[in-house]
Amino acid sequence: MPRNQAFSEPEYSAEYSADYSVSLPSDPDHGVGRNHEVSVRNSGSCLCLPRFMRLTFAPESLENLYQTYFRRQRYETLLVLVVFAALFDCYIIIMCAVVYTDDKLPSVLVASVGLIAHILIFVLCRFGLLPDRISRKFVPYTLWILIAGQIFCYLGLNFAHFHEASDTVGWQAFFVFSFFITLPLRLTPIVLISSVSCGIHTLVLGVTIAQQQQDSINGIALVRQLISNISMYLCAITVGIMSYYMADRKHRKAFLEARQSLEVKLNLEEQSQQQERLLLSILPKHIADEMLKDMKRDQKQKELQQFNTMYMYRHENVSILFADIVGFTQLSSSCSAQELVKLLNELFARFDKLAAKYHQLRIKILGDCYYCICGLPDYREDHAVCSILMGLAMVEAISYVREKTKTDVDMRVGVHTGTVLGGVLGQKRWQYDVWSTDVTVANKMEAGGIPGRVHISQSTYECLKAEFEVEPGEGETRNEYLREKGIKTYLVLVPKPQLTKNGINGVKLSLTSSHGNSPLLINTKEQNGSINTTCTTPDEGEELDTRVVNPSFPNPRRRLRLRDLAERVIDAQQNEQELHKLLNEALLERESVQALKGKYTHRLSMRFLNPEMETRFSVEKEKQSGAAFTCSCVVLFFTAIIEILIDPILIANYVTFVIGEVLLLILTLCSLAAIFPRVFPKKLVAFSTWIDRTRWARNTWAMSAIFILTMADIVDMLSCLQIYAASSQNMTRVPSLHSEGCTENPVYYSYISVLALIATIMLVQVSHMVKITLMLMITGATGVVDIYAWSHIFDEYDKARFKEYVSSLVPSKYTMTSMIFVMMMSFYYFARHVEKLARTLFLWKIDVHNQKEKVYEMRRWNEALVTNMLPEHVARHFLGSKKRDEELYSQSYDEIGVMFASIPNFSDFYTEESINNGGIECLRFLNEIISDFDALLDEAQFRCITKIKTIGSTYMAASGVTPDANMNGYNIKKEDMSDKDRWQHLADLADFALAMKVTLMNINYQSFNNFMLRIGLNKGGVLAGVIGARKPHYDIWGNTVNVASRMESTGVMGNIQVVEDTYLILKEYGFRFVRRGHIYVKGKGELLTFFLKGREKQGSFINSSSVTLPHQVVDNS
């Protein structure tokens, strides 16, 4: 599985550059995940945009998926266009009904039919009553045809005998712009249908007017008006293209964030699964749940605890199985250490499969001893039967090993039924274990058993209910403990029908050997710190479902089924199309959730109910604000062109254009400075950044731009009013319809207000409340001028145009004001929709951020738990990858230190009386002792020491097995180090042993107890490794470990015993010793040993609890 890049927000620093790539993140370091790079290139099918604005994703399949997503997003805005068209129909009906005449009936009928059609389309689309293919492909074009037909019908029926070049131009420009912001089509089709609509509209007007006014036509004036129309259309199309581009950028960003969200969710689930696998490989589920719950508790609550947390539970009526490999010494002498570990790895992996098959919970592996329990944590009535079947299967499995290896190995199995206390002790290297008198009995049942047989106690026999035939076991004759306790034992007779060649019930064991056809271990003998991994390739046995529900990550309602996705995405790594399919599912799931419900926002203002969330949204940086202000400049530019074409001699048109454009350019440059910080001075960049992040400043900036546009229009209208007043007083000319000037074409100034509304709707990072305020300002100012200041101008215009028919029409000053008001309401509806979308995208972005935080948090929990079960460098190997059961992790060390430290008199302290809560309080005290020992490992001096495990009340640790630059680790070659530097870790291990004695002495002082440590130390080479990837168990093997264990078991309480080789090294570090003499060690014969007493230097650890033996001789050499 590939390593992952660090998490990062998708950066769009090249917001206006055309070529950038986004690397979608996964969990960093050793987390799981996937890394797919998505490029956004400056090429695309839309030739309507400049090259630097053409964006497309690579690969092409991703771009196609994005286009599908984009059309779905715009599909909701299609309903906005339907509302626009319905409002247009209502406007026509109202205008005809106010001053109704019979010749207006066709217009009312057409508008009514159009309104009904639009309502029908709205209902069908809103509730998904149309097939998806029809609604996606045909509805947009149908709606375009309906709107175009409505405009032409209005043009033909309402102005049948009074056509002018300005007729319905405002509505045409309004709907052209609306096509760009609402239609769920690519940009090219929208530009084409808009151009066709405008072209036909201009052509129809020009031809119609030329035919109707053949005798009195003013060709120059008509051309200027048509060019003004075209300018208005060009303005609407230009701003529309910019709006489409801005929406495309925003949706591409949201699309990438959705893709990131999917990967984050998959990573989260996969990490959760890894956590479960690693936890449940060593800990039962109920213990793991308790640990996760405890890890999430507040640290202050933990500090208030009187005792360290202990995860311990009492379980009754369980069967305990101990199994030991007989002849293991002979087997180990016939193969190398690496081959031995490899064999144990395969054998115990099969035992784990058998344990799952027979409902056993593997407790621990101790060298060549395997023990498990049935009936824990969930009670089973057949726990004894399952344990017997497990034992028989293990015996059969070892017989297969005996046959293949040609060695005299066998299994000795003992089973006892009773009560256990199960849990973990200490704060580091958690391993599940069980304690009780019945566990001791089960251990003695194995020790007093017979190779190749399953030895059971009387209590187990009573639970079998005669399901197996047995014979007397006579275990008391082979084990003194069984004889003292008077325990009657039995041997199970093997049921012949269950015997198969490959094992009980067909569980097959695959053996590999370095002399066979299997892959060899690679370079297994190396210097300290060299890592070796080997994976054999036998056929997998049946895979058992070990998945459980993660208590820390519930599956929410209406969310993706993450486990299914996590499993499916394995194939998606090689199949990009499958990943895109998963992404499409994620997008559909996201779109199906209504993000902005009442519980999130106010219904009217749409502000978040959570003030903190609203503040975060208000400071959200929007890098498209510069483009929005650019639109204002474009609108003012086309406004000036229209005004100059209508009245070229009006000086105010030129003055307002120059002043307004300069002011708008200043606003635009200040907005762009934050986007291109390298181009502009630092102070300007800082000022621009402050505007972007300050809501009131941002609103003021936007209001200033629209105010400039509005004032430019109002000033020009008032300047025109002065000319009209002067001409009326002097009677120098009589206004004529076909003469040139602003007074003869007043409707164009109302159309210019439509362009100002369009500029307002283009503002970004401005709330809909601010937009409606600005649009009300535009509508109000224009309406006041039209109705009051320009009242005479419009009256003269109506008289000159409509003549005697003027009494049956609504005056133009009211129709223009009503038109602007209807467009304002339409744009306000769209502004609410845009803000809803922006807030929804913001919530999705927050959700992605929270998902990433969960990933980080899960990784921290994961690391904390895993490093408490496996050494950190071993955990890095296993975390983030899926291992086969037969995969072996091994690491060879030449020079390490091993320590065993036991509390022999703890067994006298342990009782299962009711006053001790059945033994739990005794184990709580042991937990405090082991936790204090674990706390010593956090000190800098002991950083090179690794806790291996605890066995009952015995504490096992090793030094020099962690890669450390200051020790004999990866960065320093052993030959470049002096002997003293090479063995510094052994001296630290000796100091650790002395510190343990002092710690226990302090505990004794505080609790009025007299516990004593018996410690054995040794140095030499070992093989460290992990047995089983499904249930990883880290341990170390070798003669060094065996001797260290014998040094502890043959030692004396209160003393640290070492052999001569260790003594020769440690005395160079200033440690004091006394010579014990030669003692007999099983398997080693007579060995000269020494007791480590302390350090020579003042202030070192004082061994005040040592037991002085009569034959001790102080060694002064």
Q: What is the pLDDT of residue 286?
A: 78
pLDDT in tens, 336-351: 767 777 777 778 888 8
pLDDT at 658 over 90: yes
Residue 1103 near residue 1093 (C-beta atoms within 8 A): yes
pLDDT (average), residues 169-179:
95
Q: What is the pLDDT of residue 169?
A: 94
Helix, strand, or coil here: 483? Answer: helix
Q: What is the pLDDT of residue 115?
A: 95
pLDDT (average), residues 437-457:
91
Alpha-carbon dihedral 737, 739, 744, 749, rounded to 10 degrees: 130
Distance between CA atoms of residues 628 and 140, nearest Å:
26
pLDDT at 356 over 90: no
Q: What is the pLDDT of residue 26?
A: 39
For residue 902, what are its two tokens? Answer: 């036991």
**pLDDT confidence tier of residue 862, bands split at 50, 70 and 90:** low
Core vs surface per residue 490-512: b (16+ CB within 10 A) or e: bbbebeeeeeeeebbeebbbbbb
Q: Which range (748-752, 940-944, 968-972, 996-1000) has the least confidence?
A: 968-972
Q: What is the pLDDT of residue 110?
A: 93
pLDDT at 755 over 90: yes
Report which of residues 864 and 1019 the model is more confident about: 1019
Selection from 1076, 1006, 952 nearest residue 436 by Cα: 952
Q: What is the DSSP letter of 131?
A: -
Q: What is the pLDDT of residue 784?
A: 94
Selection from 130, 233, 125 nearest residue 183 by Cα: 125
Residue 621 near residue 692 (C-beta atoms within 8 A): yes
pLDDT in tens, 114-163: 999 999 999 998 888 888 788 888 899 999 999 999 999 988 887 666 78
Q: What is the pLDDT of residue 528?
A: 38
Q: Which range (118-132, 266-280, 612-626) has the least confidence?
A: 266-280
Q: What is the pLDDT of residue 35?
A: 47
pLDDT (average), residues 601-612:
81
pLDDT at 5 over 70: no
Element (H, E) at 901: strand 887-902
**pLDDT confidence tier of residue 1113, bands split at 50, 70 and 90:** very low
Residues in contact with 387: Cβ distance below 8 Å, sequence separation at least 6, in sequence order: 319, 320, 321, 358, 360, 374, 415, 460
Q: Which range (219-228, 302-311, 671-680, 1015-1024) has the least confidence?
A: 302-311
Residues in contact with 993: Cβ distance below 8 Å, sequence separation at least 6, in sequence order: 899, 901, 1015, 1017, 1056, 1092
Report which of residues 990 and 972 the model is more confident about: 990
Distance between CA atoms of residues 869 and 1110, nearest Å:
43
Q: What is the pLDDT of residue 323?
A: 93
pLDDT at 905 over 80: yes
Q: What is the pLDDT of residue 975?
A: 59
Side-chain half-sphere of 829: how many Cα atoms within 13 Å? 20
Selection from 656, 664, 661 nearest residue 720 by Cα: 656
pLDDT at 304 over 70: no
Q: Which range (556-570, 625-639, 871-885, 938-952) has the least confidence?
A: 556-570
Q: What is the pLDDT of residue 766?
A: 84
Identity of residue 896: I
Q: What is the pLDDT of residue 901?
A: 94
3-state secondary structure 1102-1115: CCCCCCCCCCCEEC
Helix locations, 358-408, DSSP H: 383-405
DSSP readout, 41-57?
A: ES--S-TTS-GGG--EE
Pairing state of beta strands 1056-1059 and 1014-1027?
parallel
Q: Which range (77-81, 419-423, 465-469) has the least confidence?
A: 465-469
Distance between CA atoms of residues 555 and 32, nearest Å:
20
Report which of residues 111 and 1117 the model is more confident about: 111
Reported residue count of the chain is: 1117
What residues are labeled active site?
A: 324-325, 368
Report which of residues 525 and 817 the model is more confident about: 817
**pLDDT confidence tier of residue 40, bands split at 50, 70 and 90:** low
pLDDT at 333 over 90: no
Of all residues in the chain, what percent carry a pLDDT higher than 70? 75
Distance between CA atoms of residues 322 and 449, nearest Å:
10
pLDDT at 723 over 70: yes
Q: What is the pLDDT of residue 513?
A: 38
Angle subtended at Cα 385 by Cα 381 and Cα 388, rounded to the nearest 5 degrees? 145
**pLDDT confidence tier of residue 885, bands split at 50, 70 and 90:** very low
pLDDT at 503 over 70: no
Residue 504 near residue 389 (C-beta atoms within 8 A): yes
Core vs surface per residue 357-393: b (16+ CB within 10 A) or e: bbbbbbbbbeebebbbbbbbeeeeebbbbbbbbbbbb
**pLDDT confidence tier of residue 994, bands split at 50, 70 and 90:** very high
Report which of residues 334 and 223 the model is more confident about: 223
pLDDT at 243 over 50: yes
Selection from 1115, 1053, 1108, 1116 nearest residue 1089 by Cα: 1115
Q: Which range (568-582, 594-608, 624-638, 1088-1102) has the least confidence?
A: 568-582
Report which of residues 521 and 865 the model is more confident about: 865
User: How many beta carbons lie within 10 A of that of residue 467, not counting itself?
Assistant: 12
Long-range CB contact pairs, 171-175, < 8 A, 24+: 171/88, 171/819, 172/197, 172/198, 172/201, 172/233, 173/232, 173/233, 173/235, 173/236, 173/751, 173/754, 173/755, 174/84, 174/236, 174/754, 174/823, 174/826, 175/84, 175/85, 175/88, 175/147, 175/151
Please name every residue paired with 1027 in a beta bridge, in sequence order, or none if there are none. 1033
Residue 755 near residue 235 (C-beta atoms within 8 A): yes
Q: What is the pLDDT of residue 590?
A: 64
pLDDT at 776 over 90: yes
Report which of residues 966 and 815 the model is more confident about: 815
Residue 764 near residue 624 (C-beta atoms within 8 A): yes
Residue 1057 near residue 1048 (C-beta atoms within 8 A): yes
**pLDDT confidence tier of residue 514, bands split at 50, 70 and 90:** very low
User: How many beta carbons lie within 10 A of that of residue 1107, not counting itself?
Assistant: 12
* CA 862, chain centre distance (Å): 14
User: How many beta carbons lie within 10 A of that of residue 603, not counting itself?
Assistant: 6
Report which of residues 597 and 675 the model is more confident about: 675
For residue 54, what are its two tokens? Answer: 């053409």
Q: Which range (65-79, 624-638, 851-865) has the least confidence?
A: 851-865
Distance between CA atoms of residues 35 and 644, nearest Å:
57
Distance between CA atoms of residues 310 and 427, nearest Å:
9
Q: Which range (369-378, 386-395, 801-810) has the least confidence?
A: 801-810
**pLDDT confidence tier of residue 1028, bands split at 50, 70 and 90:** low
Distance between CA atoms of residues 837 and 75, nearest Å:
13
Q: What is the pLDDT of residue 562?
A: 47
Selection from 33, 21, 25 nearest residue 58 by Cα: 21
Q: What is the pLDDT of residue 981?
A: 79
Provide the terminal-to-terminal Cα distance of the chain, rounded to the nearest Å. Answer: 57
Residues in contact with 497: Cβ distance below 8 Å, sequence separation at least 6, in sequence order: none
Distance between CA atoms of residues 653 and 639, nearest Å:
9
Q: What is the pLDDT of residue 417?
A: 94
Q: What is the pLDDT of residue 121?
A: 93
pLDDT in tens, 477-491: 988 999 998 999 999
Residue 367 near residue 1037 (C-beta atoms within 8 A): yes
Residues in contact with 71: Cβ distance below 8 Å, sequence separation at least 6, in sequence order: 136, 184, 185
